[in-house]
Structure 1
Amino acid sequence: MDKILIKSATLAFPGHEKNGQTLDVLINRGIVEAIENKNIINDEDATVIDANGQYLAPGFFDLNVNLGEPGLETKETIESGCAAAAAGGFTGLAMQPNTEPALHSKGEISMVVNLARNQLVSLYPIGAISKGRTGNDLAELYDMKLAGAVAFSNGNKSIQQAELMSRALLYCKGFGALIMSFAEDASIANHSKMNEGVMSTYLGMKGNPGLAEELMISRDLSLANYHNTVIHFSTISTKGSVSLIREAKQKGIQVTCDVAAHHLVLTDDRVAGFDSNYKVSPPLRTAEDIQALKEGLLDGTIDAIVSQHTPHEVEYKRVEFEIAKNGIIGLQTTLPLLLEAQLSIDLIIEKISIRPREILSLPTPSLTVGAAANLVLFNPKENWTFDINTNYSKSINSPFYGATLMGKVNLVVNNNKVYSTLN
């Protein structure tokens, strides 16, 4: 489709002079050619899309995505991950270093950058803080930055040594890089399988208390404050974590954070059936935690929402809950979950389109004549079934697989490429 005419879409571009209005938008070879009030633009050569009742927004951006490649391509390749992302409305992904080998040197970063060329979805690798993500020695951070790393994280392995995290924060401060912390004190979590609370006691499973997350957040906030540097916390999940970060922001500490979409909807009660698709890290928490997370989104304490897309082969999930791997796929279910959580459209766009890019100092897509089109068109009231016919991931580890969901992405445009369900 060289030309696309989107008719009667409700604009959801925060800050745009026509935000909230119903408009027609003409896109020609990936460039916005015209923006007018509805029923003004006519072009016989264009593919016309009736967008009545749908929202046109900046393409979503995910700060926390796990893809298998390199080394774990049976879980997810860059190509399949980008396809799932496009189907979920994402035009940008920050890829975690949880690969084999880890993304811990300029070689791996350069490879990912090259493999992701010519995709509809723009892929931004996150380099590992430590070599091999072992948490022992600092990786080649500056070299990875030059090769294209947009931030540094140890992925799903929290840095246990305070001295190493301190050095990483101080070193990154020197060249303006961002450290992303997954907060979990391993000595407190101690290989537990679910949230510590009433349900873990009922099921007789060792619980992971919110304290494990909150202790590490307290430590890293202290380090960031000491060095006067920036820090980002990935996938916070507890009421206590929200309070700690809210207080830190009020004190002027340079901190941002995100929450996974499933932590806004699912509670630890879901584990009662021992379905390993509900086994995630951090674990599903309580209704009280969910309420605090939503309040944190509303008051700006929580800056962004992520999918925490974590694909696994069936042999790692269709096993006993105790030995199953953590994680679910989430790129295509993020929007439906946020609608189920009853977040407003404006808040959703702020948290999955605008703020994630701001955190990484990336440009926010604009809808202006002459600009490259980077947008998503979605219908918040349209139902669809997440199954073998609609799943673009190589994996199926999702508690929503086979379910009918509300909130459908119908068009994505980026990098002069198009994903569409409407033709």
Structure 2
Amino acid sequence: MSNLLITSAKVAFPGNPFHGKEVDVLLNDGEISKIAPRIEVTDDKVTTFDAKGQYLAPGFFDLNANFGEPGLETKEDLLSGCAAALAGGFTGVAVHPNTHPPVHSRSEVALIINRMKSLPIDIHPVGAISKRREGEELAELYDMKLAGAVAFGDGNRPVQQAGLMSRALCYCKGFGGVVFSFPEDTSVAGDAKMNEGVTSTYLGMKGKPNLAEALMVARDLYLAEYNDSSIHFTTISTAESVALIRKAKSKGLSVTCDVAAHHLVFTDDLVAGFESNYKVNPPLRTKTDVKALLEGLEDGTIDAIVSQHTPHEIEFKQVEFHIAANGIIGLQTVLPLALQAGLGTDQLIEKLAIGPRRVLALPLPEFKEKALANFVLFDTEKTWQFDKSTNRSKSSNSPLMGRAIKGGVTLVVNKRQIINTLN
């Protein structure tokens, strides 16, 4: 399918001359050879794809996904993670260093990049800030940058030592490295299993207060200001975090942040059924927090929506809630959840494709003739069943498994490859 004619697609490339228009697009070996209101072809080697009612948008980019390779391939390897990402419309993914061994040196970064060269997705390793993600000694940050690491963070382990985070911010400033903060003060969070609030009190379960996140956001904002450096907060979940980051942006600080798609829809009352697939970190919060997160997306405080894709084998999730592992798979359900949260098409594109790449200073996909295609076709009205037959991940830990979902991806084009996700 190297020669493809896409007909009647509605373009969703903000700032592009074709934005909002219905066009035909002719692809030749992954390159956009023609864009026009109507294209007629007589070559029987050209495959036609009817995109009536669908949006053609820049390929999505995920700033927070976990693939198990190296070391945890039974959860997810790079190939299965790539398949799940493509099925969700992602042509670019930043993979976090929650692996074994962690991605904390040049060799792990090179392994990931070399493994993904031939695949139709751009994989960008996030190197660990600290050696072995132990939060005590800086890892080989510049070496990892030279090898291809796009940012630095300790994955799902927050950096507790303020001095270490300060040195990381100062050091990365010298070579343009991006520092990711997973904001949680573990001395406040403790061994909590869910959000602290009415539901945790009702269930008699130890809760994690919003304060644990807000304290770390406040600390790292001060450190970034002190070092005159930039910082990115990943998977914020509270109203307090939104307010702190909004204020920092108004002061001119170089700060960005993202939110996980499930935090825009699910709330902590769902934990009352002790369904372990609702156990995530940060935990599901309250309706007040969800409202603040949606307002943060609307006013530009929050730059991106992420999957926080965290696959686990069945034995880590089908157990009692208090001992179940945190995390759900999310690459294939980001779009449906964002639609369920009420985001419009332009806002979807901004938070799923444009904003994430700006955080990492990556080039945006172009939609013009003679450009290499990097786009996704999606249908906001498409209803599909998320089950064993449609799940592309090795794992199945999602509360949406077995449900009918609205909003789906039909076609992805990137790196001269065309993936029909309907097959």
Interval of TM-score (by shorter of Structure 1 and Structure 2): over 0.9
Secondary structure of 2:329's match?
A: coil
Structure 2 counterpart of 1:236, one-letter code: I
2:389 counterpart residue number: 389
1:229 counterpart residue number: 229
- Equivalents in 1 of 2:84, 2:313: separation in Å? 16
Alignment of 1:154-233 (within 5 A): 154-233=154-233
- Equivalents in 2 of 1:121, 1:289: separation in Å? 33
1:310 counterpart residue number: 310
- Can you list the C-alpha shifts for 1:314-360, whole angstroms capped at 9, x where unaligned? 00000000000000000000000001011001000000100111111
- Equivalents in 2 of 1:57, 1:352: separation in Å? 10
- Equivalents in 2 of 1:422, 1:310: separation in Å? 24
- Equivalents in 1 of 2:120, 2:389: separation in Å? 20
Regions of 4+ moved over 3 Å: 38-44
Percent identity over the alignment is 61
Contact 1:24/1:41 (8 A) holds in 2: no
Shift of 1:254: 0.5
1:294 counterpart residue number: 294
- Equivalents in 1 of 2:173, 2:2: separation in Å? 44
- Can you list the C-alpha shifts for 1:179-236, whole angstroms capped at 9, x where unaligned? 0000000000001000000000000000000100000000000000011100000000
- Can you list the C-alpha shifts for 1:362-385, whole angstroms capped at 9, x where unaligned? 110011111111010011001000
- Equivalents in 2 of 1:41, 1:215: separation in Å? 60
- Equivalents in 1 of 2:390, 2:214: separation in Å? 38
Secondary structure of 1:365's match?
A: coil
- Equivalents in 2 of 1:47, 1:378: separation in Å? 19
Shift of 1:39: 5.1
Secondary structure of 2:256's match?
A: strand
Contact 2:412/2:421 (8 A) holds in 1: no
- Can you list the C-alpha shifts for 1:227-267, whole angstroms capped at 9, x where unaligned? 11000000000000000000000011110000000000000
Is 1:87 aligned with 2:83? no
- Equivalents in 2 of 1:114, 1:67: separation in Å? 15
1:96 counterpart residue number: 96
Shift of 1:30: 0.6
Contact 1:22/1:38 (8 A) holds in 2: no
- Equivalents in 2 of 1:62, 1:234: separation in Å? 11
Structure 1 counterpart of 2:133, one-letter code: R
Is 1:117 aligned with 2:120? no
Shift of 1:421: 3.6
What is the TM-score of this pair, normalised by structure 2?
0.99
Structure 2 counterpart of 1:138, one-letter code: L
Structure 2 counterpart of 1:155, one-letter code: G
Unmatched runs of 5 consecutive residues or more in structure 2: none
Secondary structure of 1:167's match?
A: helix
- Equivalents in 1 of 2:363, 2:301: separation in Å? 22
Shift of 1:413: 0.6
Aligned residues: 423
Unmatched runs of 5 consecutive residues or more in structure 1: none
Secondary structure of 1:142's match?
A: helix
Alignment of 1:35-46 (within 5 A): 35-38=35-38, 43-46=43-46
What is the TM-score of this pair, normalised by structure 1?
0.99
Structure 2 counterpart of 1:304, one-letter code: A
Is 1:132 aligned with 2:163? no
Structure 1 counterpart of 2:73, one-letter code: E
- Equivalents in 2 of 1:41, 1:53: separation in Å? 21
- Equivalents in 1 of 2:63, 2:383: separation in Å? 26
- Equivalents in 2 of 1:188, 1:74: separation in Å? 33
